[in-house]
């Protein structure tokens, strides 16, 4: 398949997401982009896992980093026996998959497949490192291709000269929606909620939109009610880190409050992504609690007095009654009828 990152903005070029080469993995540091364009070099799979934990990359970026990290683990184990090498890959798979607890189920789909591919390559006398790296590239192509299909469905809900509100950084769907709008010669304006505490909406989503030539405006997270009450917003959209089968979705913390406001002002909310076969309901969603120090500082500058506490839930859960539809590669699904998706898709090969 042709590489699917053609005409994509800087952040979504494959080599800028995560890339294995010659015993190391390079990951674009999204914590500081676009203020700086800098890469974190990982020389062990443990460093890749730590980079994922530290949010050097996030959104769909960790899925790519996971695959490339498994290629690095294969390289690290190159001098071991067949049996020990497989055990090494299995250990790496679990370490990388659990780097972010809320998405561990999706990460395991990637890392465990890498183990299978590594075993097969070794049994056939081939280089497992290159085979695992190629699988990571193939996974990128599948995800980009499928999200391009999702974008074609979503863009039909956006009128020409329409306005879209985003939350956090939806990564692949953002790039594909922008590309689809250009190809359809559709004019769209974007308002991007900044997304505290790492400002992914302001730094990442807004950067992609502006780089691709779209009118782009950033708002702080506490301006959403003002925006929806004073501007014509045609829809609110976000990706989802988890889509449970009962219609609850987990996404960057703050999504729930925007969904509540969108519902109040009559703005439809469309969630993009593929439902999770192994997440049956809200109770199966684990919310990652991060270091509260990250809330009390911005760009490394502390802005609270000593003795002040904070909390940092990385995600919140939006209930199905606030969601207009889940937009998938198979079209629009009611959040109350996601079982129908799995009747058509027995396995999830998205990752």
DSSP code per residue over 136-153: HHHHHHHHHHHHHHHHHH
Q: Are residues 71 and 19 in the same domain?
A: yes
In a domain, 3, yes or no: no
Q: Are residues 131 and 277 in the same domain?
A: no
Q: Are residues 189 and 260 in the same domain?
A: yes
In a domain, 314, yes or no: yes
In a domain, 137, yes or no: yes
Residue 299 pLDDT: 81
In a domain, 5, yes or no: no
Residue 342 pLDDT: 87
Q: Are residues 135 and 166 in the same domain?
A: no
d(C-alpha 345, C-alpha 326), whole Å: 15
Which CATH number do you get for residue 323? 3.40.50.10470
Q: Are residues 90 and 189 in the same domain?
A: no
Note down the domain range covering 216. Answer: 158-344
In a domain, 2, yes or no: no
Q: How many domains does the chain have?
A: 2
d(C-alpha 10, C-alpha 167), whole Å: 19
Residue 111 pLDDT: 97
Which helix (H) or strand (E) is 65 found in, with range?
Answer: helix 61-76
Which helix (H) or strand (E) is 218 found in, with range?
Answer: strand 216-219
Cis before 34? omega within 30 = yes
Q: Are residues 312 and 205 in the same domain?
A: yes
Q: Are residues 252 and 297 in the same domain?
A: yes
241 is catalytic: yes
In a domain, 151, yes or no: no
Q: Are residues 120 and 211 in the same domain?
A: no
From first to last of the 351 residues of the chain, give the pLDDT tens digit: 789 999 999 999 999 999 999 999 999 999 999 999 999 999 999 999 999 999 999 999 999 999 999 999 999 999 999 999 999 999 999 999 999 999 999 999 999 999 999 999 999 999 999 999 999 999 999 999 999 999 999 999 999 999 999 999 999 999 999 999 999 999 999 999 999 988 999 999 999 999 999 999 999 999 999 999 999 999 999 999 999 999 999 999 999 999 999 999 999 999 999 999 989 999 999 999 999 999 999 888 999 999 999 999 999 999 999 999 999 999 999 999 999 998 887 665 556
In a domain, 350, yes or no: no
Beta-carbon contacts of 55 under 8 Å, excluding residues fewer than 6 positions away, are: 30, 31, 198
Residue 300 pLDDT: 83
Q: Are residues 177 and 268 in the same domain?
A: yes
In a domain, 334, yes or no: yes
Among 114, 143, 172, give the residue marking a domain's end. Answer: 143
Q: Are residues 98 and 166 in the same domain?
A: no
Which CATH number do you get for residue 14? 1.20.120.420
Q: Are residues 166 and 59 in the same domain?
A: no
Q: Are residues 187 and 329 in the same domain?
A: yes
Catalytic residue among 29, 127, 160, 241: 241
DSSP 240-267: -SEE-TTS-EEEETTHHHHHHHHHHTT-
């Amino acid at each position: 398949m042709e590489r699917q990152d053609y005409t994509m903005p800087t952040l979504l070029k494959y080599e800028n997401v995560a890339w294995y080469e010659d015993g190391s993995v390079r990951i674009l540091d999204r914590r500081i982009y676009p203020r700086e364009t800098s890469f974190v070099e990982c020389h062990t799979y443990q460093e890749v896992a730590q980079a994922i934990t530290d949010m050097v990359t996030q959104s769909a970026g960790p899925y790519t980093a996971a695959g490339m990290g498994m290629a690095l683990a294969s390289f690290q184990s190159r001098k071991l026996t067949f049996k020990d090498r497989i055990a090494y890959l299995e250990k790496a798979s679990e370490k990388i998959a659990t780097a972010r607890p809320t998405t561990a189920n999706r990460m395991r789909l990637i890392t465990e497949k890498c183990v299978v591919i590594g075993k097969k390559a070794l049994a056939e006398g081939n280089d497992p490192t290159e085979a695992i790296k190629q699988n990571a590239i193939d996974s990128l192509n599948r995800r980009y291709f499928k999200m391009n299909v999702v974008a074609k469905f979503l863009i039909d809900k956006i009128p020409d000269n329409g306005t879209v509100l985003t939350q956090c950084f939806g990564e692949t769907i953002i790039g594909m929606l922008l590309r689809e709008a250009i190809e359809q010669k559709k004019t769209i304006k974007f308002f991007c909620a900044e997304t505290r505490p790492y400002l992914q909406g302001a730094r990442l989503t807004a950067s992609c939109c502006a780089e691709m030539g779209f009118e782009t405006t950033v708002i702080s997270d506490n301006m959403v009610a003002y925006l929806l009450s004073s501007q014509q917003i045609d829809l609110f959209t976000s990706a989802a880190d988890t889509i449970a089968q009962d219609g609850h979705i987990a996404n960057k913390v703050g999504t729930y409050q925007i969904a509540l406001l969108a519902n109040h002002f009559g703005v439809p909310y469309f969630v993009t992504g593929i439902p999770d076969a192994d997440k049956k309901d809200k109770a199966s969603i684990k919310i990652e609690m991060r270091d509260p120090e990250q809330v009390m500082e911005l760009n490394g500058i502390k802005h609270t007095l000593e003795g002040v506490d904070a909390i940092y839930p990385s995600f919140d859960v939006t209930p199905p009654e606030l969601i207009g539809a889940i937009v998938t590669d198979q079209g629009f699904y009611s959040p109350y009828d996601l079982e129908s998706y799995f009747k058509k898709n027995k396995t999830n090969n998205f990752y």
